[in-house]
Structure 1
Amino acid sequence: MLTSTQPHSHILGSTRRISLTGVPSPRFDRRASHGAAPVNLPVKQRVPPQSWDSHMHVVEPQRFPISKSAVYEPSVHTLEDALTFESTLGVENLVFVQPSIYGTDNSCLLAALAKLGPARGRGVVVVDPDTIEQETLDEWHALGVRGLRVNLQSVGKVMEQSELEATLFRHAKIARPRNWIIEVYVPLKMIPMLESIVPRLGVTVCIDHFGSPELPAISLCKENLPFDPYTLPGFHSLISLIRTGSTYIKVSAPYRLTKDNGMRDLKAMAREFLSAAPDRVIYATDWPHTRFTGVDISPFTEWCLDLCTHEPGLADKLFRRNTERMLGADSV
């Protein structure tokens, strides 16, 4: 089991750790504004009201023991810690996503979701679709669960197309009656497999973390080179999928992906996402940034906001409305 963490603060900002104890100042009221918040405001005052962090985790290994097969050992990150962190960004609503270390035991996630409530929270769980009971799924739905996660990337699992197809169809069978999504975490090079599978699932699919590309090691800032995301294996397929209307993409976890201090590779990808399907791109922090230390997600949040300044209402889609539509939170 891995216990070490990786510093990535050189990519996302200062080397100081994110404070989880600060008390947020009163928020700037932008509800009457029809345009983007001024760029000279602090990040928490630029983030649209009622925004969602569409991908974060709560981890309490002492209260909820991790799986024996977990590939890393986390520290404690409670719901209270999460709310304090989110307040520094001005984010009000949370999507709890089941991390790999808990396997199919969703107890920690469900406890946090029950405490937060469905008006501010949603959950994406991991299950064995062949053994999970329908009554259990119905109970979880009442708590705010709206998705099933298929996570290959975190555990380094590779599937052939036939196995991936069978896995996704088994999940779709139990997701479809409840209008749940399937959240997929696979490397970008596997995305072409999804092109022929997703249209036949009959459910909405969400792809984690920019599609998890394997980005070049070259420092783009140092070499001053442009970046063409279409050179990445699988990127054409990813764009094709999000254009169809049944697939969403999360812009999240940049520190897991880029080796460029300016994140220009990810910015190029994000611009293509927003150009191809502005209604199906969603923002997330990936808090508490498991396996990494010293992460300050504010600069990433700020450049997500900057990408939206050219189009009125785009930030509201990225930070709020797209997630609400995907997870049925707009009906709460």
Structure 2
Amino acid sequence: MIALQMHQFVRTTDPVKYTLAEGAQYIPKTHLLSEALKFEKSLGLRNVVLVQPSIYGTDNTCMLDALRALGPNHGRAVVTFDPETIDPETLQHWHQLGVRGVRVNTQSIGKRMKEEEMVTILHKYADIIRPYNWVLQLYVPLDAVIILEKIVPKLGVTICLDHFGSPALNGHSHFEDPYSLPGFQSLVNLLLQGTTYVKLSAPYRICRDEAWEDLEPLAKELVRVAGMSRAVFASDWPHTRFEGLDIKPYIEALIEWCGNDDALIERVFKGNAETLWGV
């Protein structure tokens, strides 16, 4: 296993110290940083990118505590914040700790943004993070990428899309051709433009087939288009709402989708992520 980097949704959770946001969509089980590091070691991973989960809203305390414990040599993080209230001093402090991105998540809460709203919000975030060279990480449905294709070139920041771009495969009658999925062509176009990355993560959130056969054509095409430069593996640990899942079969599938090409595998599991997160 070449991989040296992992994305995770941190759940270093003390239910008293780290309270959930009002309206949290689920209550997580307790997962400690030590468990994350044990999981990381089992996969041969060395560096960790922590991603703020939706259940904590804009309170990044839990994740930042974990980031301090990791240290900036082995840890990076993606926060959430309110663009109307965030201040430069906080951003600079977070940057020193190892924060390298902000996450906008509409998928977890089932929110749909109209084009005008999306333009306004993404420009606000982009203007704030541009001086720090942070990543704007988006968890939005694939069909929303049609709108993103028009917005992203004007933002002047690096974009990272979660979970294969979040396609809706279930019930789709032509998903064997990924280009038949609304938004997929736009995703490819953005990847080819060079400022957008896609995380190859959490196939279980997209299709229920444990062999992920429905996802395979789409995954292989993303690897073909962006595997050498802008496609990155992410573990999605601790697989919230899918706790106990064995991720190793997915890793084996992704290696196979890379055609067992050592150079391509190195980029997907290591090189692209190091470039994206500066770790």
Fold-level similarity (TM above 0.5): yes
Which of residues 182, 207, 224 is equivalent to 1:233?
Answer: 182
- 2:158 maps to which residue? 204
**2:11 — aligned with what?**
58
Question: Is the 8 Å Cα contact of residues 227 and 264 (structure 1) preserved in structure 2?
Answer: no
Displacement of 1:310: 4.7
* Alpha-carbon distance between aligned partners in 2 of 1:150 and 1:59, rounded to the nearest angstrom: 21
For residue 303 of structure 1, report the CA deviation from its aligned partner.
1.3
Equivalent residues of 2:169, 2:206 under 8 A apart:
yes
Q: Deviations over 1:239-268 (max 9, x none)?
A: 111111000000101111113332122221
C-alpha distance after superposition, 1:137-179 (max 9, x if no partner): 0000001000000000011111101101111000001110000
Aligned partners of 1:316, 1:208: CA distance in 2, in Å?
20
Match of 1:54, SS? Answer: strand
SS at match of 1:71: coil
Within the alignment, does 1:86 sit opposite 2:36 as a pair? no
For residue 200 of structure 2, what is the aligned residue in structure 1? 251
The amino acid across from 1:237 in the alignment is: S
SS of equivalent to 1:293? coil
User: Does the alignment pair 1:121 with 2:75?
Assistant: yes
The residue identity in structure 2 corresponding to 1:135 is E
Q: 1:34 — aligned with what?
A: none
Q: In structure 2, what residue type is equivalent to 1:259?
A: R
Alignment correspondent of 1:184: 138
Shift of 1:226: 8.2
Distance 2:34 2:88 in 1: 31
SS of match in other structure, 1:264: coil
Instruction: Report how far residue 208 of structure 1 moved.
Output: 0.2
Contact 1:192 1:237 in 2 (8 A): yes
SS of 1:250 mapped into structure 2: strand
Q: Say whether 1:267 aligns with 2:221.
A: no
Tell me the secondary structure at the aligned position of residue 125 of structure 2: helix
Query: Which amino acid counterpart does residue 146 of structure 1 have in structure 2?
Result: R
Q: How far apart, CA to CA, are the structure 2 residues paired with 1:77 and 1:160? A: 36
Which structure 2 residues correspond to residues 291-306 of structure 1 after superposition, within 5 A?
291-306=241-256
Over residues 248-295 of structure 1, what are the superposed CA-to-partner deviations in whole Å (9 max), with x where a residue is unaligned? 000101111113332122221121112112210000111111112331
Q: Work out whether residues 54 and 282 of structure 1, in 8 Å CA contact, stay in contact via their aligned partners in 2.
A: no
**Equivalent runs, 1:100-179 vs 2, <5 Å:** 100-179=54-133
In structure 2, C-alpha distance between the alignment counterparts of 1:262 and 1:228, rounded to whole Å: 18
Indicate the residue corresponding to 1:37 in structure 2.
none
Cα pair 1:152 1:158 within 8 Å, conserved: yes
2:170 matches 1:216: yes
* Aligned residue pairs, count: 277
State the shift of 1:91 in Å. Answer: 1.3
Would the aligned equivalents of 2:9 and 2:51 in 1 still touch at CA under 8 Å? yes
The residue aligned with 2:232 is 282
TM-aligned CA distance change 1:214 to 1:226, over 3 Å: closer
SS at match of 2:214: helix
Which consecutive residues of structure 2, in runs of 5 or more, have no partner in the other structure? none
Show CA shifts across 1:7-38 (max 9, x none).
xxxxxxxxxxxxxxxxxxxxxxxxxxxxxxxx
**Pairwise CA RMSD of aligned residues?**
1.7
**Residue of structure 2 in register with 1:44 after alignment:** none
1:317 to 254, 267, 272: 267
Take 1:243 and 1:269, find their aligned partners in 2: how far apart are those partners?
A: 16
TM, length-normalised to structure 1: 0.80
8 Å contact from structure 2 (residues 12, 66) kept in 1: no
Query: Displacement of 1:59 after TM fit?
Result: 3.9
* Contact map agreement 2:72 2:98 (CA 8 A) in 1: yes
Alignment correspondent of 1:43: none
Q: Structure 1: any 5+ residue segments left out of the alignment?
A: 1-46
Q: Does the 8 Å contact 1:56/1:284 carry over to 2?
A: no
Give the whole-Å Cα distance in 1 for the aligned partners of 2:43 and 2:260. Answer: 21
> Hey, what does 1:327 align to over in structure 2?
277
User: Residues 59 and 75 of structure 1 are in contact (CA less than 8 Å); yes or no, is this contact kept in structure 2?
Assistant: no
Matched AA of 2:88: Q
User: Counterpart of 1:31?
Assistant: none
Question: Which residue of structure 2 lines up, in the alignment, with residue 5 of structure 1?
Answer: none
Distance in 1, matches of 2:27 and 2:78, equals: 21
Mapping for residues 15-54 of structure 1, pairs under 5 Å: 47-48=1-2, 51-54=4-7
What is the letter of the counterpart of residue 280 of structure 1? R
